[in-house]
Chains A and B, each alone.
Chain A
Amino acid sequence: MKKLKDTFQDIIRYPSAIVGLLIVLALIVFSIYTMITIPYKEAIYLWKGTEEVVYKNPRNAQPTWSNWFRKDKLPESIDVYAGEDESFTKEVTPREKGGNQIEFNYELDYNYNELPQDIFMYFTSNYTDRNPFIVITMITPSGEEIKVFDGGISQASNIRFGQEEKLLTRLIRLHGRDTETQSQLKGVIEGLFTKIGSYPPEMNKGKYVINVKATTFEEGSNVDAELVMHGTVFGLFGTDHMRRDLKVAIMWGAPIALAFGLTAALGTALISMFIAALGTWFGGWLDELIQRITEVNMVIPYLSILIMVGTFYSRSIWVLLLVTILLNIFSGSIKSQRAIFLQVRESTYIEAAKAYGTNDFRIITRYMIPRVIPMIIPGLVSAVPAYVFLEASLAILGLGDPTVPTWGKIINDARTYGALYQGMFYWILEPAVFLMITGLGFAMLGFALDRIFNPRLRGM
């Protein structure tokens, strides 16, 4: 206990150690928070990106905070339920012949220079025989009333403005462009949000109203509405090409990176320490064999072996973790551990232990290994980043676990879908920054520990 306290006091003398320790602790807290708020199963479900999960998310949207650095703000995404927000009102008036007349009004202040990606309205209604009838109208700031949709709706329907063919025809007629000299409307959204008759298209800024009139034909039949607008910025982390919220993968990347890195580093260090202890204690052919294996292991291209395992057998992150550990047991660290054990073996207390007849197993586990543990800790901590990045490397080679959301997989997706070429830097930078912080945190802590436990390096 006292030794632990001394070590701790040593650690706080090094500023880089404090920073490293804080980063590692922050990562652990972040991971625990992630695991509590988004359970593993849910994370995997969310990361599948099925329509009911991602319907609110625009495609390839920048994170919302990126607007702070822009003079020209990008449109934010909107998701409101009728009646829950004062901008989206719902009024119900009973009709004489039974049923209700329901009117929804949504006011949208649109002052951006960019078009939103799309607008959706989701309706839910209850009825037994006759389904409700709705009319959606959009009133632009300049006063035009444009009918978006009319027709019956079922229990659950959605209207996607961008895919209303009739609306597009109406808008094309309304804008009346001369197709010989001007290019045709690119879509409904451009038709709705630009000034009528302007060319090149000019944004029609100001207050839009989306008005929905729903008529139900039965007693107690009701309609509810949700409005979703896909802007071009979304959430804290933005979205990817499949409209998945990057938050899931960024958050879950932390526990997975930690689990992978720590297990691999701890597993290899402990196993190779034990093997080194056996080799040095028994010496002879065993020691010789261990050294030869280490030499062979140096020649084996271990990333390529991992690649083969990943392509031929299994892409499960845990299988790859196991293979990583196996391939790294006989790495360079076993050599340095052997050197330490050789010194320890010659100590007088070991000789004493031998003299009163302690058995081999006891000497190794109780007398030799405890002496060496503090010396391997720095190496262990410094090895964590390598494994964290290894997982990312495998993901970039396309060998990431298909179901698990990780930082490496975001980078891989971003690279494959041209984030670098198309200026979607957030997509690659967010996971990269997290990876970098993790790597640096462990590396700084490991470096400082190395100096503390290695008296020769003290003060250098």
Chain B
Amino acid sequence: MSVETNSQETSIEYAKRATRETAKRLARFFSIRLVLQIITIIIGVYITILVANMGGYVDTILKASIIEEVNMEVSAMVSEKDIPREMREQMVRDLVAERERLAGLDQPFIQRSFHHLWNGLTLNFGRARFMVSDHGSRMVRNIILERLPATLLLMGVSQLLLFFVTISLALAVSRHYGSTWDKIIVAMSPTSSIPPWFYGIFLILIFAAWLKVLPFSGMVDAPPPPTKLGYFLNVLKHLILPAGSLFISSFFINTYSWRTFFLIYSSEDYVDMAKAKGLGDRAIERRYILRPTLPSIITSFALLMVGIWTGATLTETIFNWPGLGTTIYTAISKYDTAVIVGTTIIQAYMLGITVFFLDFLYAIVDPRVKLGGGK
């Protein structure tokens, strides 16, 4: 009797200890991943800055913003007093030289590039030459941060939809291997080589130019609807075509490749074993097929999302969706170098965060990380 209680206690103890161990291992895994990812992002941003500054463009951006600042300060200082022009110009020159020295522009290239890196990492991108944020700010950071939510909305909606729709469809199709639907998915998968913006053009042609049921472009009507609900519905209406083109362009390839994963995994012995035990279809799917494939699905989804960021720039441009992609397009046409560099760095950040987030998901679903610490 006493022995039994004892062993029971130990098993509970053991379970508790195992959970603690798992938590510890997960924590360690994540902190390592986090540090690695931060280093990765830093290197990514550094490379971006090196490319941008190969022609001295970051230096020029910095110099321009220093000169503008100093000019403003000096004119504010001397506006009340009667100071000869030459003296004022001398003041400006001195101040500019001083500030440039402080900003490290007199240092050799390598040192300077680290200066720029710090600015980039702290999102300190300087001033835009021509572009202005909706609130009237010339700071590149404000322009970009104002546009970021639009991009996140478009990407978030289309990618989440894509993920869940294609997984469930792939499961259904793999169950009916060889059916008409299955064949259609296989036959249609090469259409995913066509990028989303391209589908965008066709969707605009059909739904905006021809059928006239959905708006050509933009995120809300001008003027926007007054009520909150009206505004929301209006954004939703504008969202259909851009999100739809992002969705369509990855839909078939995702469904196809995941269905193939499922098919490969469903021919494993343990699945046959589960079938022999008489488990229900749903249970087999969830526990024996979906579960072991999830890590690889998440990896492939990560790669896909990284690719989609590229496509999203163009899709936003085609639909005039006021996100980062459109910002970079406008910046190119106005030759606003600071905005181009800033947007590129923000995109590096977004990519880094995406990869880290998917790593996080990966660790949660991958039993090797959780139990064995095999990674």
- Name the CB-closest residue of B to A305: B51
Q: Which of B57, B194, B209, B341 contacts A439 (CB under 8 A)?
A: B194
Contacts of A436 in B (CB 8 A): 194, 198
Once A301-B344, A396-B314, A460-B263 are accepted as A-B contacts, the answer to whether A307 and B52 lie under 8 Å apart by CB is: no
Q: Does A193 contact B (CB under 8 A)?
A: no
Q: Does A382 contact B (CB under 8 A)?
A: yes
Give the interface segment out of B140-148, B239-247, B326-334. B326-334
* Complex CA distance for A460 and B173, rounded to whole angstroms: 12
Once A304-B344, A421-B209 are accepted as A-B contacts, the answer to whether A296 and B40 lie under 8 Å apart by CB is: yes
Contacts of A444 in B (CB 8 A): 190
Does the CB pair A16–B187 fall under 8 Å? yes
Does the CB pair A457–B260 fall under 8 Å? yes
Contacts of B44 in A (CB 8 A): 296, 299-300
Contacts of B47 in A (CB 8 A): 296, 300
Residue among B51, B52, B209 having the largest count of chain A Cβ atoms under 10 Å: B51
- Name the CB-closest residue of A to B190: A443
Q: Does A282 contact B (CB under 8 A)?
A: no
Once A296-B43, A308-B344 are accepted as A-B contacts, the answer to whether A397 and B198 lie under 8 Å apart by CB is: no
Does the CB pair B347–A308 fall under 8 Å? no
Q: Does B189 contact A (CB under 8 A)?
A: yes
Min CB gap B154→A, angstroms = 16
* Complex CA distance for A61 and B197, rounded to whole angstroms: 26
* Complex CA distance for A290 and B116, rounded to whole angstroms: 26
Q: Does B41 contact A (CB under 8 A)?
A: yes
Q: Which of B181-222 contact A (CB under 8 A)?
A: 187, 189-195, 197-198, 201-202, 204-205, 208-209, 216
Min CB gap B348→A, angstroms = 5
Once A299-B44, A311-B332 are accepted as A-B contacts, the answer to whether A442 and B260 lie under 8 Å apart by CB is: no
Contacts of A415 in B (CB 8 A): 201, 318
Contacts of A292 in B (CB 8 A): 40
Q: What is the 8 Å Cβ interface bit string for chain B, positions 292-336, against chain A (1 contact, 0 not)?
A: 000000000001001001100110011000000000110011010
Main DSSP-derived SS at the B contact region: helix
Q: Does B170 contact A (CB under 8 A)?
A: no
Contacts of A71 in B (CB 8 A): none
* Complex CA distance for A292 and B44, rounded to whole angstroms: 11
Contacts of A308 in B (CB 8 A): 48, 51-52, 340-341, 344
Contacts of A446 in B (CB 8 A): 190
Q: What is the 8 Å Cβ interface bit string for chain A, positions 237-251, against chain B (1 contact, 0 not)?
A: 000000000000000
Contacts of A35 in B (CB 8 A): none
Q: Does B54 contact A (CB under 8 A)?
A: yes
- Name the CB-closest residue of A to B57: A312
Min CB gap A155→B, angstroms = 44
Q: Which of B131-168 contact A (CB under 8 A)?
A: none
Q: Which of A295, A299, A382, A398 contacts B348 (CB under 8 A)?
A: A299
Does the CB pair B355–A299 fall under 8 Å? yes
Q: Does A399 contact B (CB under 8 A)?
A: yes
- Name the CB-closest residue of A to B333: A398
Does the CB pair B209–A311 fall under 8 Å? no
Does the CB pair A397–B314 fall under 8 Å? yes
Q: Which of A300, A411, A425, A440 contacts B48 (CB under 8 A)?
A: A300
- Name the CB-closest residue of A to B313: A303
Q: Does B104 contact A (CB under 8 A)?
A: no
Min CB gap B346→A, angstroms = 9
Once A304-B344, A393-B197, A428-B201 are accepted as A-B contacts, the answer to whether A299 and B52 lie under 8 Å apart by CB is: no
Contacts of B260 in A (CB 8 A): 457, 460
Q: Which of A299, A397, A432 contacts B202 (CB under 8 A)?
A: A432
Min CB gap A34→B, angstroms = 23
* Complex CA distance for A392 and B310, rounded to whole angstroms: 13
Q: What is the 8 Å Cβ interface bit string for chain B, positions 334-357, against chain A (1 contact, 0 not)?
A: 010100110110011001100100
* Complex CA distance for A425 and B310, rounded to whole angstroms: 26
Does the CB pair A420–B347 fall under 8 Å? no
Does the CB pair B332–A307 fall under 8 Å? yes
Does the CB pair A440–B190 fall under 8 Å? yes
Contacts of A123 in B (CB 8 A): none
Q: What is the 8 Å Cβ interface bit string for chain B, positions 249-276, against chain A (1 contact, 0 not)?
A: 0000000000010011000000000000
Contacts of B347 in A (CB 8 A): 301, 304
Q: Which of A302, A313, A421 contacts B310 (CB under 8 A)?
A: A302
Contacts of A309 in B (CB 8 A): 51
Q: Does B84 contact A (CB under 8 A)?
A: no
Does the CB pair A440–B194 fall under 8 Å? yes
* Complex CA distance for A396 and B335, rounded to whole angstroms: 16
Q: Which of A173-228 contact B (CB under 8 A)?
A: none
Contacts of B303 in A (CB 8 A): 332
Q: What is the 8 Å Cβ interface bit string for chain A, positions 432-456, against chain B (1 contact, 0 not)?
A: 1001100110111011000000001
- Name the CB-closest residue of A to B204: A420
Q: What is the 8 Å Cβ interface bit string for chain B, positions 17-29, against chain A (1 contact, 0 not)?
A: 0000000000000
Contacts of A399 in B (CB 8 A): 332
- Name the CB-closest residue of B to A303: B310
Residue among B44, B177, B191, B193 having the largest count of chain A Cβ atoms under 10 Å: B193
Q: Does A423 contact B (CB under 8 A)?
A: yes
Does the CB pair B344–A305 fall under 8 Å? yes
- Name the CB-closest residue of B to A438: B193
Does the CB pair A420–B332 fall under 8 Å? no
Does the CB pair A439–B202 fall under 8 Å? no
Q: Does A298 contact B (CB under 8 A)?
A: yes
- Name the CB-closest residue of A to B302: A298
Contacts of B36 in A (CB 8 A): 295
Does the CB pair B332–A442 fall under 8 Å? no
Min CB gap B135→A, angstroms = 24
Q: Does A389 contact B (CB under 8 A)?
A: yes
Contacts of B198 in A (CB 8 A): 389, 392, 432, 435-436
* Complex CA distance for A301 and B337, rounded to whole angstroms: 16
Q: Does B372 contact A (CB under 8 A)?
A: no
Q: Does B223 contact A (CB under 8 A)?
A: no
Min CB gap A268→B, angstroms = 14
Q: Does B278 contact A (CB under 8 A)?
A: no
Q: Which of B54, B193, B202 contacts A313 (CB under 8 A)?
A: B54
Q: Does A385 contact B (CB under 8 A)?
A: yes
Q: What is the 8 Å Cβ interface bit string for chain A, positions 7-28, against chain B (1 contact, 0 not)?
A: 0000000001000100000000
Min CB gap B40→A, angstroms = 5
Contacts of B190 in A (CB 8 A): 16, 20, 440, 443-444, 446-447
Min CB gap A300→B, angstroms = 5
* Complex CA distance for A460 and B174, rounded to whole angstroms: 10
Known: A393-B197, A396-B314. 18 other contacts (CB 8 A): A16-B190, A300-B348, A301-B310, A303-B313, A303-B314, A304-B328, A305-B344, A307-B332, A308-B52, A308-B341, A386-B195, A393-B195, A421-B216, A425-B205, A429-B205, A432-B198, A460-B260, A460-B264
Sample of 9 A–B contacts (CB below 8 Å): A295-B355, A307-B332, A311-B337, A313-B54, A398-B332, A420-B216, A428-B205, A447-B190, A460-B264
